[in-house]
């Protein structure tokens, strides 16, 4: 058991929340995007989080933790969180009547992504709050490590 492992756990969450904020930003940036490589309008992206395999006894957690592994995306510290995947929304796109639009169908309707700025903002706010929560946890862990260093000093 070591204190740096606690930091890795919080770090994994900060990384996951940052990716979530990026996905929200991408969704909002493409809210009016009617043209994609795969054809059709942009589809809203969903991010799914999954808990890392928990190690309930803590005894053999020492080997999973090593310094400098925070910047490697594939590392999954036990007890932390990872991104299970980014999925496209399966729902139908929004139809708006605009016959003059270059992407309008034969019926004069243009397919727009079904993106609601309100849900995106709520998601962004929640991601930012969770990021802040985990960063304050890192702050607390730093305080603990600093105080542990005081043992040697006298």
Partner 1 sequence: MQVTTELGEHLARYLDLSVNEAKVTASNMANIDTPGYRTKGFDFGSEIAKAFDSFEDPRSHLVNMHEVDGLVSRPDGNNVSIDRESLHLAEAQLKFRTGIALLRLENQRVMDAIRADK
**Is 13 or 110 the residue whose CB approaches partner 1 more closely?**
13
Provide the minimum distance between the beta carbon of 134 and partner 1 in the complex, in angstroms, as a whole number: 6
Strand partners, 86: 47
Answer whether 61's CB lies under 8 Å from 55's CB. yes
Provide the minimum distance between the beta carbon of 124 and partner 1 in the complex, in angstroms, as a whole number: 13
Cα 19 from chain centroid?
3
Rule CB under 8 A: say whether 34 interacts with partner 1. Answer: no
Stretch that binds partner 1, among 26-34, 79-87, 91-99, 112-120 (CB under 8 A): 79-87
Rule CB under 8 A: say whether 27 interacts with partner 1. Answer: no
Compute the C-alpha angle 121/122/128, nearest 5°.
85
How many helices (H) and strands (E) the chain has is answered by: 2, 4
Stretch that binds partner 1, among 15-23, 68-76, 92-100, 101-109 (CB under 8 A): 15-23
Q: Out of 58, 85, 105, 121, which residue is the one contacting partner 1 (CB under 8 A)?
A: 58
Rule CB under 8 A: say whether 75 interacts with partner 1. Answer: no
DSSP state at residue 79: T
Tokens of 100: 């003059």
């Amino acid at each position: 058991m070591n204190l740096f492992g606690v930091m890795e756990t919080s770090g994994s969450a900060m990384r996951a929340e940052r990716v979530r904020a990026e996905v929200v930003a991408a969704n909002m940036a493409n809210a009016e995007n009617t043209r994609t490589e795969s054809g059709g309008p942009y589809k809203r992206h969903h991010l799914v989080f999954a808990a890392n395999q928990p190690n309930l006894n803590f005894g053999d957690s020492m080997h999973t933790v090593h310094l400098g592994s925070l910047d490697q995306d594939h590392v999954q510290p036990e007890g932390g969180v990872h991104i299970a995947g980014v999925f496209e929304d399966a729902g139908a796109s929004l139809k708006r009547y605009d016959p003059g639009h270059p992407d309008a169908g034969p019926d004069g309707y243009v397919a727009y992504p079904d993106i609601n700025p309100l849900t995106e903002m709520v998601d962004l706010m929640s991601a930012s709050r969770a990021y802040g929560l985990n960063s304050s946890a890192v702050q607390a862990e730093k305080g603990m490590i600093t105080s542990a260093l005081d043992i040697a000093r006298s």
